[in-house]
Structure formats: structure tokens, C-alpha cells
Amino acid sequence: MLGVSALLVLLSGCQSVTGSPVLSQVRLIDTSPDAPGLDAYQGTAVLAYNLGLGTLTSYVPITPGLYNISADQAGTHSQLITAPGTFAANAQYTVLIGNYANALQELILQDQSTASPLGQVNLRFIDQSVRSGALDLYLVPSGATVVTQRPVVTGVSFNTNTGYVSIPAGTYTLVALPTGATPTASGSTLYTGAAVVYVTGSASTIVLIDPQLTTTPGVQIVTAADYQPPAAA
């Protein structure tokens, strides 16, 4: 498993702010490989309890404004990290809490909340793996092999945010290799995922994190849906 379960303070189960123009929405991802369980707060209001590595919360609606988003060691009021963020009405945000426990940091990003162009998918890659080194990422279409493909992004390293990359909708397998490595049909990879169908008009964030409780080189993936067309929801 990528993470432990989180007891979420969910005020709504929706995945979009459409129809709620007076609200902002925020979700959290714990990407630290060695931090203890985390309780997350928006000011003094609890957003989630006991986040663990790889935990992705649902979007939580909040009143727009400027807030400190903080994380305490779970079950205590021992604050480990806090950072300010401005949250606009009718917008969605992802807060990543990452790095090693003795150097925790937050990254607050606004998410795409509208449809991608017809026939296209927007994917955003965020590297939160502190151990993997620089990576080249491939999206291998169904029926193809990585050998015949060019990387979709190159030189991705810790704290890299690629922004949204537009690709044709379809079925792809994500593969990660060390930057500059030549893919081979029988060669090993740092990550090879399952085939995923990316629906036209959708947008997703793909976060690279360290494998849990291991020193073996490699990465794991957390995929967060930013926008899903109504027919795909």
C-alpha cells in the first residue's frame, strides 16, 4: 500500500467546485518517506487526520481566503510544518507535504478544474521522490513498447512540477527511467505502471514518491483526478 488510511473531514463528496462559486476546495497528499502520521489543519480547522505516505484526500470545501495550512504529528499538537496559501473562490488546490521529516516542506498548487480540449488529456507530473534521482517519464500507448517511444518529459527531479502536458486521449502505461537511460525491451525500469485509460477532456496530477520502507531504487505513483468530464465521473 502506498499509504495508511486517513480519517477525512469531508464536508462534501464532490470532486469539482462547479455549482459552488463561493467556495474553494483543497486536498492533501502526504509524500514524505519518513514523517510520522500527520494531522492537517486549515488555520485551526481540521482537514484530515493521520495522513501517511501516499495518502490522497478528497477535495474539502473551504471558504476562500488566506490561510496557513499546517501539519502536526498525528494525535498531538506538535506542529511540524506550516505555510500560507491564498485560496480563491471556485478554484481547486492540492497541498503536498513532502521531503524528509527533519526538513518537511509544503507545495501548494492550483489544479485544473475545467475540461481539456476535445480529444486531449492534460497530465501534470510532480516529483516528490527524494531518493530516485532525475527521471525520464514515458507514456507508452496500448500495444506499443517503451523502446519505440520518446519520453513525454525528461530530467524530472525532486520538486519538479512539469505543469500540465497535453497528450491525445487513450490508454497508456507510465514508465520511469533514470534520465538519459536508453530503454530496452528486457531492461529494468524504476517504475512501470498498469495500463490506464485517460478519457478525453480529463485532467490529472501524477505524483512520484519514494517506495515505502525500502532503500531499493524506484518510485511509486499517486494519481489524483483534477477534472473528470461528467460522462466519465
State mean pLDDT over 75-103: 96
Measured CA angle at 57 (ends 232, 24), to 5 deg: 80
Helix (H, G, I), strand (E, B) or coil at 204: strand
Q: Is 98 domain-assigned?
A: yes
pLDDT of residue 213: 64
Calculate the alpha carbon distances from 1 to 4, 95, 148, 222 in Å: 7, 21, 31, 11
Domain boundary among 65, 92, 111: 111
Residue 212's pLDDT band, with cuts at 50, 70 and 90, is confident
Q: Is 2 domain-assigned?
A: no
**HEC profile of 192-203:** EEEEEEECCCCE
Domain boundary among 111, 128, 149: 111
Residues composing the chain: 233
- pLDDT over 50 at 76, yes or no: yes
Q: Which residue type is seen at 61?
A: P
Q: Is 43 domain-assigned?
A: yes
Q: Please tell me the distance from the alpha carbon of residue 120 to that of residue 18, in angstroms, as a whole number.
A: 21
- In this prediction the pTM is 0.88
Q: Are residues 89 and 133 in the same domain?
A: no
pLDDT of residue 14: 39
pLDDT digits (tens, 9 = 90+) for 30-44: 999 999 999 999 999
Task: Print the domain residue range for 183.
Answer: 120-232
pLDDT of residue 188: 85
Percentage above 70 pLDDT, the chain: 88
C-alpha cell at 39: 494531522
Considering the chain, what is the average pLDDT of its residues? 89
Residue 216's pLDDT band, with cuts at 50, 70 and 90, is low
Helix (H, G, I), strand (E, B) or coil at 161: strand
Q: Are residues 90 and 135 in the same domain?
A: no
Q: Are residues 83 and 133 in the same domain?
A: no
Q: Are residues 64 and 145 in the same domain?
A: no
State mean pLDDT over 103-126: 97
pLDDT digits (tens, 9 = 90+) for 168-189: 999 999 999 999 999 988 778 9
Q: Are residues 124 and 89 in the same domain?
A: no
pLDDT of residue 2: 44
Q: Which residue type is seen at 134?
A: A
- pLDDT over 70 at 65, yes or no: yes
Q: Is 1 domain-assigned?
A: no
Which residues have C-beta within 8 Å of that of residue 137, sequence separation ≥ 6? 125, 151, 152, 153, 154, 156, 174, 175, 176
- pLDDT over 80 at 71, yes or no: yes
Helix (H, G, I), strand (E, B) or coil at 147: helix
Return the bridge partners of 85, or none.
Answer: 67
> Domain total for the chain?
2
Q: Are residues 203 and 137 in the same domain?
A: yes
- pLDDT over 60 at 27, yes or no: yes
Q: Are residues 131 and 224 in the same domain?
A: yes
Q: Is 182 domain-assigned?
A: yes
Q: Please tell me the distance from the alpha carbon of residue 158 to that of residue 57, in angstroms, as a whole number.
A: 22
Highest mean pLDDT among 20-24, 130-134, 201-205, 217-221: 201-205
Q: Are residues 62 and 140 in the same domain?
A: no
Residue 7's pLDDT band, with cuts at 50, 70 and 90, is very low
Domain boundary among 88, 111, 134: 111
- pLDDT over 80 at 100, yes or no: yes
Q: Are residues 167 and 67 in the same domain?
A: no
Q: Are residues 131 and 106 in the same domain?
A: no
- Give phi and psi for 231, each to the nearest 5: -70, -20
Q: Are residues 102 and 151 in the same domain?
A: no
Q: Hey, CA dihedral for 6, 96, 220, 118, is it positive or negative?
A: positive
Q: Please tell me the distance from the alpha carbon of residue 83 to that of residue 70, in angstroms, as a whole number.
A: 6
Residue 214's pLDDT band, with cuts at 50, 70 and 90, is low
Q: Are residues 96 and 125 in the same domain?
A: no
CATH number, domain containing residue 35: 2.60.40
Q: Please tell me the distance from the alpha carbon of residue 184 to that of residue 145, in angstroms, as a whole number.
A: 9
pLDDT digits (tens, 9 = 90+) for 139-162: 999 999 999 999 999 999 999 999
